[in-house]
């Protein structure tokens, strides 16, 4: 089992025109200090001092966590280490933006225990970056990535494709420039906009052939030595893959700290729970400064919801669906109609089947979410096999 910790840092230099993540622009340094105190307090409230379960991955995301700077990130990681064992090989990722890091700061983050950075490049084209509302330019982005690679830590960069008017050749140029930096990992996302963001109306009028771009991105990156292990995630070798994301996609437990952060209990005998801090920095700070847990939402998940998530996540990755694990973890016998539907989808070239497993082809991966809904509609959820589940006796009713 992989045990993960996520810290949501809700600050950015300014808001990008497409972004729906919970973050606020231009925070005063005193607010950054209060935030770090809040993380320390939330950690103290949430994790017992003698907690023995190690944290295999720590992910500082946002927002723009590098806005906190080296000393505050050092304090957060120190607080984590005071309460949690980070075993040798634990993956500690920091999300950074090109405009907020220098080579000296990268050294400082490494000293603090960061061993992987994820850089929000999005594009090396100044025109694209201006359209997206990013603060950095292409030159700054490339310098930041090369400085991180030179640091000797694991480096991932994010790219966005599918901008209005962007041609296939434009996309290829971006991919080639990204690969030439020597990064071991790349995330390439199609541009989407949250409703209500400034770019949403512009995107509604977009005319690019988005399915073509998906195949073009996957094929070109494979040619550059970066192969997909998830719809939007590419790595040079298995060791370059994001352990944190792989654990999340496999329904492993994680603890989230910070406003808007989610936590997941892990799955036991077909049940799990998810909770989340409300996206309200003031309420989060005020609660913790008065010694209380921050306001939270909560949901219990049963086999039906977990199955849909497990199938969706499995079809989005090259790890595929582990049918035996689904049966053991969720206590579900998927039944003959599910198996027959797998056969039909394999005959259509969307899945590859092997004993106890199904994996999407690239064509199937492009349709992963739709296939997941289709497949789960063929599962016989009434055929529970809880008696066969090795973990059912340890199930707490609301976990």
Q: With CB under 6 A as the contact rule, which of the stretches 29-37, 56-64, 165-173, 289-297 interacts with ligand SF4?
A: 56-64
Question: Which CB atom, from 194 or from 212, has the smaller least distance to ligand SF4?
Answer: 194
Closest separation in Å from C-beta 99 to ligand SF4: 9
Closest separation in Å from C-beta 101 to ligand SF4: 13
Residue 16 has what DSSP assignment?
Answer: -
Q: With CB under 6 A as the contact rule, which of the stretches 14-22, 37-45, 110-118, 198-206 interacts with ligand SF4?
A: 14-22
- Residue 61 three-state SS: strand
- Residue 391 three-state SS: coil
Q: CA-CA distances (angstroms) from residue 119 to 95, 142, 351?
A: 6, 10, 33
Q: With CB under 6 A as the contact rule, which of the stretches 19-27, 212-220, 298-306, 375-383 interacts with ligand SF4?
A: 19-27
Closest separation in Å from C-beta 158 to ligand SF4: 9
Under the criterion CB under 6 A, does residue 63 sit at the interface with ligand SF4? yes
Q: What sections of 235-291 are H helices per DSSP?
A: 243-249, 281-289
**Interface pick for ligand SF4 out of 9, 12, 94, 358 (rule CB under 6 A):** 12
Q: With CB under 6 A as the contact rule, which of the stretches 17-25, 38-46, 372-380, 382-390 interacts with ligand SF4?
A: 17-25
Which residue reads 């209060």 in tokens? Answer: 34
Closest separation in Å from C-beta 27 to ligand SF4: 12
Q: With CB under 6 A as the contact rule, which of the stretches 12-20, 149-157, 194-202, 334-342 interacts with ligand SF4?
A: 12-20
Which residue lies nearest ligand SF4, judged by its C-beta?
19
Give the integer Cα–Cα distance in Å for 335 and 330: 14
Under the criterion CB under 6 A, does residue 258 sit at the interface with ligand SF4? no
Residue 136 tokens read as 């950095």
Question: Which CB atom, from 21 or from 215, has the smaller least distance to ligand SF4?
Answer: 21
Give the integer Cα–Cα distance in Å for 65 and 61: 6
- Residue 124 three-state SS: coil
- Residue 76 three-state SS: helix
Which residue reads 């966590």 in tokens? Answer: 65
Binding mask of the shown chain, residues 64 to 83, with x at each position contacting ligand SF4 by CB under 6 A: x-------------------
Under the criterion CB under 6 A, does residue 21 sit at the interface with ligand SF4? yes
**Interface pick for ligand SF4 out of 4, 66, 97, 125 (rule CB under 6 A):** 97
Residue 60 tokens read as 């500082």
Under the criterion CB under 6 A, does residue 320 sit at the interface with ligand SF4? no
Under the criterion CB under 6 A, does residue 23 sit at the interface with ligand SF4? yes
Under the criterion CB under 6 A, does residue 27 sit at the interface with ligand SF4? no
Q: List the one residue out of 147, 139, 143, 64 whose CA is nearest residue 105.
A: 147
Q: With CB under 6 A as the contact rule, which of the stretches 13-21, 170-178, 217-225, 304-312 interacts with ligand SF4?
A: 13-21
Under the criterion CB under 6 A, does residue 16 sit at the interface with ligand SF4? yes
Rg of the chain over all Cα atoms, to the nearest angstrom: 22
Count of residues engaged in binding ligand SF4, rule: CB under 6 A: 11
Which residue reads 């497993």 in tokens? Answer: 357
Report the site for ligand SF4 in 116-145 (rule: CB under 6 A). 120
Residue 201 tokens read as 């109306």
Q: With CB under 6 A as the contact rule, which of the stretches 9-17, 201-209, 229-237, 239-247 interacts with ligand SF4?
A: 9-17
SS3 per residue for 289-351: HCCCCCCEEEEEECHHHHHHHHHHHHHHECCCEEHHHHHHHHCECCHHHHHHHHHHHHHCCCE
Count how many Cα atoms sit within 13 Å of the Cα of residue 223 in the half-sphere of its side chain.
Answer: 9
What is the contact surface with ligand SF4 in residues (CB under 6 A)? Answer: 12, 15-16, 19, 21, 23, 62-64, 97, 120
């Amino acid at each position: 089992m992989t045990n993960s910790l996520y810290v949501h840092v809700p600050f950015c230099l300014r808001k990008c025109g497409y972004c729906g993540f919970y973050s606020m622009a231009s925070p005063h340094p005193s607010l950054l200090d209060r935030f770090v105190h809040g993380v320390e307090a939330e950690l103290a409230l949430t994790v017992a001092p003698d907690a023995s379960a190690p944290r295999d991955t720590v992910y500082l995301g946002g927002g723009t966590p590098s806005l906190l700077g080296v000393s505050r990130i050092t304090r957060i990681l120190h607080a984590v280490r005071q309460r949690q064992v980070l075993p040798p090989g634990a993956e500690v990722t920091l999300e950074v933006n090109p405009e907020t890091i220098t080579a000296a700061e990268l050294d400082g983050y490494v000293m603090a225990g960061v061993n992987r950075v994820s850089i929000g490049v999005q594009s090396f084209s100044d025109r694209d970056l201006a359209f997206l509302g990013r603060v950095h330019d292409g030159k700054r982005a490339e310098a930041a990535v090369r400085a991180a690679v030179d640091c000797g830590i694991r480096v991932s960069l994010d790219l966005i494709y599918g901008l209005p008017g962007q041609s296939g050749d434009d996309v290829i140029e971006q991919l080639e420039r990204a690969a030439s930096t020597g990064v071991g990992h790349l995330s390439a996302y199609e541009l989407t906009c949250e409703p209500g963001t400034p770019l949403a109306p512009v995107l509604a009028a977009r005319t690019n052939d988005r399915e073509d771009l998906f195949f073009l991105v996957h094929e070109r990156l494979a040619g550059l030595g970066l192969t997909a292990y998830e719809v939007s995630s590419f790595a040079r070798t298995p060791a370059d893959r994001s352990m944190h994301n792989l654990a999340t996609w496999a329904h492993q437990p994680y603890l989230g700290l910070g406003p808007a952060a989610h936590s997941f209990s892990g799955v036991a005998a077909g049940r799990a729970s998810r909770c989340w801090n409300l996206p309200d920095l003031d309420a989060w700070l005020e609660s913790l400064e008065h010694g209380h847990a921050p306001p939270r939402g909560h949901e219990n998940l049963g086999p039906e919801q977990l199955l849909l998530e497990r199938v969706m996540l499995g079809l989005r990755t090259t790890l595929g669906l582990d049918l035996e694990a689904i049966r053991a973890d969720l206590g579900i016998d998927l039944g003959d109609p599910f198996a027959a539907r797998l056969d039909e989808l394999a005959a259509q070239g969307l899945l590859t089947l092997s004993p106890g497993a199904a994996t999407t082809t690239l064509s199937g991966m492009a349709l992963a979410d739709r296939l997941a809904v289709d497949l789960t509609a063929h599962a016989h959820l009434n055929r529970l096999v809880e008696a066969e589940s090795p973990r059912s006796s340890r199930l707490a009713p609301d976990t």
